[in-house]
Amino acid sequence: MCEGRVVIVTGAGNGIGRHHALEFARQGATVVVNDRGVRRDGSGGSGTPADEVVAEIAAMGGQAVADHGDVSDVAAAEEMVATAIDRFGRLDVLVNNAGILRDRTLVNMAEEEWDDVLRVHLKGTFAPSRAAARHWRRRAKAGERVAGRLVNTSSSSGLLGNIGQSNYGAAKAGIAGFTIVAAMELAPYGVTVNAVAPGARTRMTEGLMAEADGDLDPYDPAAISPLVAWLGSERSAGVTGQVFDARGGTIGVYEGWRVG
Ligand code: ADP
């Protein structure tokens, strides 16, 4: 479905982002695998999570390159988008997925924990999106048919709440608002903007899973990737400004979860 599409997935060295990158590659896309993460043994050099995902895609016979930039650094985000354009001629899809957690109850939350979470998610969505939007506008103005796709990552934490995540919830609700506005602004260029809102996976849910003797389906984050790939495909042209509940049937609010 994404044959020949040029896709950036941020924060794609681990978790959900890695699944998105692999799904796009499986569907025939060329993928820029962004992740600022360092090698798992903590040392510098190659062999980072992004490099490992690129190797996985190459082993599948796909095409991918790594980008190690911090998505919340405007210059690095612009360089990442330029990498896709320089290497592969254009950008079709940007999946903003990079994220961090700094869970803490509001009364104990440090200013830095607030700032870091808002910076990585909000500036880290804004900076790559603006670079991509400028690229798409330029092509549209030149008369090209652009099927640009921006897919953001919100969270049930931002839409329903999750104890210990006032910072994360604020950022993820902000991403939902950004999605709705950007969808209106970019529609004239042939660009859709949507978001997916995965469920949270916490120590609390693991406790619940154990209690339910396996009667609760374990939440599989990889299950969201086909939706993200569809939103990135040309087929989803009629869908924009939507925030998709992608909790997979899991609950969104966890009571009694203890954080420091
Ligand atoms: P999840 O389980 O929700 O997918 P992970 O922590 O496994 O979360 O994945 C998030 C990824 O985002 C990590 O690999 C992390 O290195 C990456 N990341 C975090 N902050 C940034 C950033 N500022 N720029 C690029 N990548 C980032």
Chain center to CA of 15: 10
DSSP string, 190-201: TEEEEEEEEPP-
| Chain-centroid distance, C-alpha 180 | 16
Residues with a catalytic annotation lie at: 155, 168, 172
Dump strand ranges (E) for the chain. Answer: 6-9, 30-34, 63-67, 93-96, 148-153, 191-198, 243-246
**Is the interface score ipTM higher than 0.90?**
yes
The secondary structure of the chain in percent helix, strand, coil, rounded to multiples of 5, reads 50, 15, 40
Residue whose CA lies nearest to ligand 1 atom number 17: 11
Q: Determine the residue type at 28.
A: G
pLDDT in tens, 106-124: 999 999 999 999 999 999 9
pTM recorded for the entire structure? 0.93
Q: Is the CB of 5 under 6 A from ligand 1?
A: no
Q: From the CA of 107, how far away is ligand 1's center (Å)?
A: 26
Indicate which atom in ligand 1 lies nearest the CA of residue 13.
Answer: 14
Ligand 1 and 71: CB distance under 6 A: yes
Other beta carbons within 10 angstroms of residue 74's beta carbon come to: 15
**8 Å CB contact between 124 and 71:** yes
Residues ≥6 apart with Cβ < 8 Å to 115: none
**What pairs with residue 9 in β-bridges?**
33, 95
Distances (CA, A) of 75 to 66, 79, 116, 128, 134: 17, 6, 18, 9, 14
Dump strand ranges (E) for 57-214: 63-67, 93-96, 148-153, 191-198
Nearest-CA residue for ligand 1 atom 23 is 70
Quote the CA–CA distance of 46 and 59 in Å, as a whole number: 17
User: Is 128 close to ligand 1, i.e. is its CB under 6 Å away?
Assistant: no
Phi (first) and psi of residue 31, to 5 degrees: -120, 130
- Per-residue HEC secondary structure of 152-177 comes to EECCHHHHCCCCCEHHHHHHHHHHHH
Q: Is 67 in the pocket of ligand 1 (CB under 6 A)?
A: no
Instruction: Tell me the average confidence (pLDDT) per consecutive run of 10 residues in the chain, 260 residues long.
Output: 96 95 98 91 83 98 98 98 98 97 95 98 98 98 98 93 92 98 98 91 57 61 90 97 85 49
pLDDT tens sequence across 32-83: 999 998 887 777 777 999 999 999 999 999 999 999 999 999 999 999 999 9
- Smallest CA-to-CA distance from 30 within 79, 96, 90, 80 is with 90
DSSP helix/strand/coil, 6: strand
Residues in the chain: 260
